[in-house]
Structure 1
Amino acid sequence: MTKHRILTTRETFSNINSYIELIFAIGSGIFIVAGWLLSKADLQLASIVSFLLAYGIGGYFKAKEGLSDTLLHKQLNVELLMVLAAIGSAIIGYWTEGALLIFIFALSGALETYTMDKSRKELSSLMRLQPEEAWLLENNKEYRVSVADLVVGNHILVKPGERIPADGIIKKGSTSIDESAITGESIPVSKEVGQEIFAGTVNGQGSIIVEITKPNSETLFQKIITLVQNAQSEKSPSQQFIERFEGTYVKIVLSVVALMMVLPHYLLDWSWNEAFYRAMVLLVVASPCAVVASIMPATLSAISNGARNGMLFKGGVHLETLGNIRAIAFDKTGTLTIGHPEVTNYVVVEEHSPADVLQIVASIEHHSNHPLAEAIGKFAASQMVDLLTPDSIEDVSGWGIQAIIQGQTWKIGKKDFMNKEKIDQFRRQYVTKHADSGKTIVYIQKEADIIGFIALKDCIRTEAKAAIDELQQLGIQPIMLTGDSQTTAAAIANEVGMTTFVAECLPEQKVTELKKIQATYGVTAMVGDGINDAPALASANVGIAMGQGTDVALETADIVLMKNELAKISEAVQLSKRMNRIIKQNLFFSIGVLFILVLSNFFQAIDLPFGVIGHEGSTILVILNGLRLLKQHQKKMA
């Protein structure tokens, strides 16, 4: 059975289970009404039978959950408190109140189950995006096969409009791919031969042949699903504290209830019936149901919200910590910048034709694999330059490239590779301002004359400055850590609006610098590409990977932004702040209600029905408040 079928079965069972809980709760309510009407008609036996049915139907799920948890973990829980309170109410003749307690408790339980299912819907939605079959190509024939049977190296046909069944490389054809399931970006991305595509994404209008590069169990899509599953099962520090506290608290409540059954009779001259009644009210109102429900629904809702928007959190602990960061360290290359050089300036002295010189330069650089040569080649291709064939060519490692074309000697490379007698004057006249701005300069020499240069730069991302501004508005100090020179680092920092940076910083030194930042500012995040920055990502309080869905990013960081979009960082921070704020609201409200109800009971100012309504009503309200985090994430949440 495939993972998709397994999850679909579980999801169906979960949905049925939540519906059954709701049906049982409603059934309990019907029997309560019937019991109340029968009691008004003096049909006491029939009334008690109706109330007993309300108890059995309404309390089935919670009683089962509470008893199994108690027996399994040898720990008391709030479900057991509620069952005991309902039984105690019936013992002293408050059948209606006890049944009402069971009814509202069952209703809030059904709502909580629904909330959990709702918050997990992103995972099940993702699973439904995974195709179960694919078109396998063998011997020029198409075969419909199970995706689980595909192996690395197989060639598959993906037709227009179909979901891509596996990770792979396009071998034939071109198309546009809707990658929203992976990156959260709704605009289709153009894909051509040689480019990578991912399972679960949607093919556009073109028909493509794809070579599979990963088995089904190791696709990016499956790793995302595993990541979200783990995130939903990992509990935040707040949730862990509440769960540790719950068992001790329940023991305290039961002890106080036992004392209240006895002491008020002797100390306050209460009747035995009144003392027992007040003990049962205390058992109801002192239960920490609302406190327990304050955190998990909110956390799961926030994780699901992030997954829908291309922000994958590896657990509630990282999501909770993110909202408390005071500084954020950025790698430069591939994070603040695009990650590869681009031509920004092309200058040729007046007596030469820029088009002719570019043709020769491109023809020479075409024979080099250097990243700068590739950038120059792309620039020349954008100018529709036709390439020539050099008579001879020599790649001088670390310096540049030399060639003979049409009988003339050309040099392309660093300044120290050029004519020493003329390079300084040429630099002063044409180049200085570009070098000062952090650009890399490639010089062009024809025979003994330097006739031009090409300036290249790893350009900043278009949204970088706005993203940094947003983080600063949130009170977070951005700091750049880069291995580039002081000049280049200063230029990039100035462009993006940073005032603090550390230049000439090797990967191992980034960890040392990060610890200095933590000592100065406190909780610190690190943003990198998940490869060279792995040590720093691991050392930060929160590691954030910008990887456009790369495997390394998924395995390294605590939070993965599936699309290289810096604006998602501030969105993630604001989502975390909003979650933390809602959790605090829930805890303050639930503890406040609990305190008021307990105090009111000691002063005999509240009866069992109002205690039931106040207690269970607060539980329902905190669950609904947490459910608000499922709403579409807005940029300005703070």
Structure 2
Amino acid sequence: MAAPAPVREKPAESMPAGAPGPSRRIGAGLLDPQQLWLALPAALLKLNPVTLARNPVMFVTEIGAALTTGLAIAHASLFGWLITAWLWLTVVFANLAEAVAESRGRAQADTLRGMRRQTVARRLVGWQPGAGSGSYIEESVGAGELRRDDLVVVEAGELVPGDGDVIEGVASIDESAITGESAPVIREAGGDRSAVTGGTRVLSDRIVVRVTQEPGASFLDRMISLVEGANRQKTPNELALNLLLVMMTFVFLVAVLTLQPMAIFSKAFMAAAPDSQALTADGVTGIVLVSLLVCLIPTTIGGLLSAIGIAGMDRLVQRNVLAMSGRAVEAAGDVNTLLLDKTGTITYGNRRASDLLTVDSVTGRRLADAAALSSLADETPEGRSIVAYVRDKFGLEATVPGDAAWVPFSATTRMSGVDLAADASRADGGARRLRKGAASAVAAWVQENGGTVPAALDVCVKQVSASGGTPLAVAEQPADGPARVLGVVHLKDVVKPGLRERFAELRRMGIRTVMVTGDNPVTAKAIADEAGVDDFLAEATPEDKLALIKKEQAGGHLVAMTGDGTNDAPALAQADVGVAMNTGTSAAKEAGNMVDLDSDPTKIIDIVEIGKQLLITRGALTAFSIANDIAKYFAILPAMFGGVYPALDAINIMRLHSPTSAILSAVIFNAVIIAVLIPLALRGVRYRPSSADSLLTRNLWIYGMGGLILPFLAIKFIDVAVVQFIPGI
């Protein structure tokens, strides 16, 4: 038998990264200024009162703008026309925020529409698994005619006509238009990678697909609706905030209407006050009251609220996550228990070599050489990892001539290896046999071949097992001597780098992480400790997952989890945030309320952070909106009634030029601040993982105090500019 080629030295290579890196802050894409211009026509169309009635705050503002327009026409004045122009701009800027948010997904929607073109489907009638070609009928129909449970056949080069599950065959499929990934994916009957999406292209082989979609409700249809923001339903928190804004608007509306008698009274008594005569001129009183109403009601958050919700969904789309509803995104922000499957989420999913333990006087290099040579023909992930570990750790590159006798792994022997012939070029050039496998099987092989099993083997095996790893023994038999044990390879589930830091961030956010695995408790605990999760559920069955979710929810917690198999469907449906993998079954995707197009289970951590960013953005801008109204009170109220009630002069801290310039400056600021905040509403307030108390404190200081101080400075600046450029105002 030919001898193996010599083992060559090779520089060590680092293990490729395949997991999320260190924690990062969650933000969003920047706003292209050109988007504002492109979205302007859509913003103008939204001036339709029927459309604007969905936003009560801006609807009242539009009515006010219409009233001031009529008053400005009936009683023409520069002041009246300026107020009217800025009130209309207030409504347009609010519509522009929503229009820009909706337009950001149009490019992707157009791409998806291109995929949704009508394709011809080859529907099978009377087909049964394994049936011959003469036992069923194949008919050509339009993809739009397909119904749930129809069977279609798709071959290489053809488009999948609708969403479904592969029930026969295996094929390579191009899903790049859906996921953005150019690499094809494999879909096959059975298992958890059987789902296919309508509009994707089969690259090889032939599959039979059972259609799972209803007409007009395909995966692409839902994606298009999502990315455009069409038919978006408001979330519970958004509805609650809308109700609050409506009530505040109603209260201020009633308050302003009751000022009309006071305005008439004031007109009689303010005639002697030169600074106030402009406010009592014909038609101006109505304009002033409308201005007061618009500045009192929370127009800032009212104009941005819808854009914030749409932008939150858009941030998920940017990360290739399809949310079935805004409620799911919002719920993600309130999650406080996160269930994570061990395999593929916390660990790489395949056991990898992590250490070599020698016995007796065997050197580490000798064990490494034997372990690598005996694994060269092992195409399992474990076998390849041993070869890579030896190369990286010891700088050894093992090659074996083609006439070596390979011993494949079998369930009977529970070993694999290689038989090598003598090689005179090697220091240890005699023929030898190498075996690698389960410790008990290798020990039996050593005894059968005249060797003895050292007690150190049992020590090494117990050491590896106690740490949650899998021990593989390595043995060698020279041609002229008994077999001997060289040592043990420590295989372990390798925890993805950076996860411990991510879990620590989640803990600071008040989120409890639970690892779910089918491993035994010893292995589960070892991995849980290494990953840094808060708890684990070992030997978990689908029923155990469901029971755990119900238990957490009964304790008042919101639960998020990931899954891809049919057996995950009950738990995904029960969870408040259920993220199904796109590679998974249709049952899993239908049960969850989100679908990850990249099928990256760790993305659930990002989803939770995006949900929290949505809630924080909404809360921060609400605080800013309410706070900046206070400054407008200080600008308008003294200007309107200071002549009648001199005591109001005490709150006239801005000392604006005149009553008319004060009111105009407040109205201008009210409009401009909406436009200024559009990028922030779309990008979202930058999220930093921390406790709820610290987040609240930070946002109150930044957005509460900022909303209180900024308007004083801005309104004063606008007043100076107005007086400078519009003399006599």
Q: TM-score, normalised by structure 2?
A: 0.58
Q: Which amino acid aligns with 1:215?
A: V
Secondary structure of the residue aligned to 1:153 is strand
Q: Secondary structure at the match of 1:154?
A: strand
1:629 Cα offset (Å):
5.0
Letter in structure 2 aligned against 1:436: A
Aligned position for 2:468: 438
Partner of 2:103: 118
Map 1:80-479 to 2 at 5 A. Answer: 80-94=63-77, 96-97=81-82, 99-101=84-86, 103-105=88-90, 107-108=92-93, 111-112=96-97, 114-121=99-106, 122-133=108-119, 146-148=142-144, 152-158=151-157, 166=162, 179-183=175-179, 186=181, 188-189=183-184, 191=186, 198-199=196-197, 208-215=204-211, 217=213, 222-223=218-219, 225-226=221-222, 229=225, 232=229, 233-266=232-265, 269-270=269-270, 273=281, 275-338=285-348, 428=458, 431-439=461-469, 459-460=493-494, 464-474=496-506, 475-476=508-509, 477-479=512-514
* Residue aligning to 2:527: 492
Task: Determine helix, strand or coil for the equivalent of 1:498.
Answer: coil
Residues 499-541 of structure 1: CA distance to partner in whole angstroms, max 9, x if unpaired?
A: 5334345444445555776799965533444654555545555
SS, match of residue 99 in structure 2: helix
In 1: Cα distance, 2:59 partner to 2:203 partner: 60
Letter in 2 for 1:290: T
Deviation at 1:489, TM superposition (A): 0.4
In structure 2, distance between residues paired with 1:191 and 1:532:
21
Aligned length: 546
1:298–1:357 Cα change, 3 Å? closer
Measure, in 1, the Cα distance between the counterparts of 2:242 and 2:502.
36
Instruction: Mark the CA change 1:191 to 1:545 in structure 2 (over 3 Å): closer, same or farther.
Output: closer
What SS does structure 1 have at the residue aligned with 2:116? coil
Q: Distance in 2 between matches of 1:294 and 1:136?
A: 48
Is the Cα contact below 8 Å between 1:465 and 1:495 reproduced in 2? no
Letter in 1 for 2:261: V
Query: Quick one: distance in 2 between partners of 1:560 and 1:536?
Result: 15
- Check if 1:61 corresponds to 2:13: no
Residue aligned with 1:328, SS: strand
Change (3 A) 1:454 1:149: farther
Q: How many angstroms apart in 2 are the aligned matches of 1:219 and 1:401?
A: 51
What's the CA shift for 1:615? 2.3
Q: Write out per-residue CA displacement over residues 124-163 of structure 1, whole angstroms, 9 at most, x where no aligned residue.
A: 4433333433596999xx999744367623233417xxx7
The aligned counterpart of 2:577 is 542
The answer to whether the Cα contact below 8 Å between 2:86 and 2:667 also exists between their aligned partners in 1 is: yes
Task: Give the conservation status (yes or no) of the 8 Å contact 1:170–1:208.
Answer: no
1:335 counterpart SS class: coil
SS of the residue aligned with 1:226?
helix
Deviation string, structure 1 residues 406-435 (Cα, Å, up to 9, x no partner): xxxxxx99979x98x999979616632332
Compare relative contact order (CA 8 Å, sep 6+) and give the higher one, 1 or 2: 2
Tell me the equivalent position of 1:572.
607
CA contact (8 A) 1:21 1:106 kept: no
- 1:55 aligns to what? none
Distance in 2 between residues matched to 1:260 and 1:225, nearest whole Å: 52
Deviations 1:253-292 (A, max 9, x none): 3322221111244378346646434312213323433222
Contact 1:134–1:147 (8 Å) recurs in 2: yes
1:465·1:497 contact (CA, 8 Å) conserved in 2?
Answer: no
The residue type equivalent to 2:622 in the other structure is L
Stretches of structure 1 that go unaligned for 5 or more consecutive residues are: 1-14, 25-59, 363-372, 403-411
Matched with 2:679 is: 624
Shift of 1:444: 12
Q: TM-score of the superposition, structure 1-length normalised?
A: 0.65
Which digits, 9 at most, give the CA deviation of each residue in 1:324-353, with x for residues without a partner? Answer: 444423232453345577899999999xx9
Displacement of 1:300 in angstroms is 1.0
1:457-492 alpha-carbon deviations (Å, 9 max, x no partner)? 78346xx34134224235254332334322110222
Where 2:218 maps in the other structure, the secondary structure is: helix
CA gap 1:61/1:174 in 2 versus in 1, 3 angstroms: closer
CA RMSD of aligned residues (A): 5.8
Task: Indicate the SS of the match to 1:595.
Answer: helix
Distance in 1 of aligned mates of 2:611 and 2:677: 18
Give the aligned partner of residue 11 of structure 1: none
Superimposed CA distance per residue, residues 60-85 of structure 1 (whole angstroms, 9 cap, x where no aligned partner): 9344545x769xx9x97543344334
Give identity over the alignment, percent: 19
Change (3 A) 1:227 1:114: closer
Query: What is the deviation of 1:102?
Result: 5.6
Shift of 1:199: 3.8
Is this contact kept in 2: 1:169–1:211, CA < 8 A?
A: yes
Corresponding residue for residue 79 of structure 1: 62
Q: Write the mapping of 1:572-591 to structure 2, written as runs, cut at 5 A.
A: 572-591=607-626
Secondary structure (helix, strand or coil) at the match of 2:560 reads strand
What secondary structure is seen at the aligned counterpart in 2 of 1:276?
helix
Find out whether 1:482 has 2:500 as its counterpart: no
Partner of 1:613: 668
Q: Give the distance between the partners of 2:613 and 2:208, measured in 1 at CA.
A: 41
* Contact residue 173 and residue 207 of structure 1 kept, 8 A: no
Query: How far apart, CA to CA, are the structure 1 residues paired with 2:326 and 2:252?
Result: 29
Matched residue type, 1:114: A
Question: 1:173 touches 1:209 (CA, 8 Å); kept in 2?
Answer: yes
Contact 1:166 1:214 in 2 (8 A): no
Structure 2: distance between partners of 1:102 and 1:355: 77
CA contact (8 A) 1:527 1:537 kept: yes
Distance 1:606 1:468 in 2: 60
Q: CA deviation at 1:298?
A: 1.8
Letter matched to residue 96 of structure 1: W
The farther-off stretch of 616-625 and 268-277 is 268-277
Q: Secondary structure at the match of 1:459?
A: strand
Cα distance change of structure 1 residues 493 and 119 upon mapping to structure 2, 3 Å threshold: same
**In 1, are the aligned partners of 2:174 and 2:203 still within 8 Å (CA)?**
no
Q: Which residue of 2 aligns with 1:6?
A: none
AA matched with 2:312:
A
Change (3 A) 1:245 1:389: closer
Paired amino acid for 2:679? L
List gaps (5 residues or longer) in structure 2: 1-35, 125-132, 272-279, 363-369, 389-399, 416-436, 476-482, 640-658, 696-729
Distance 1:188 1:629, change over 3 A: farther
Judged with a 3 Å threshold, the aligned counterparts in structure 2 of structure 1 residues 566 and 65 are, in CA distance, closer, same or farther, namely: closer
Amino acid at match of 1:241: A
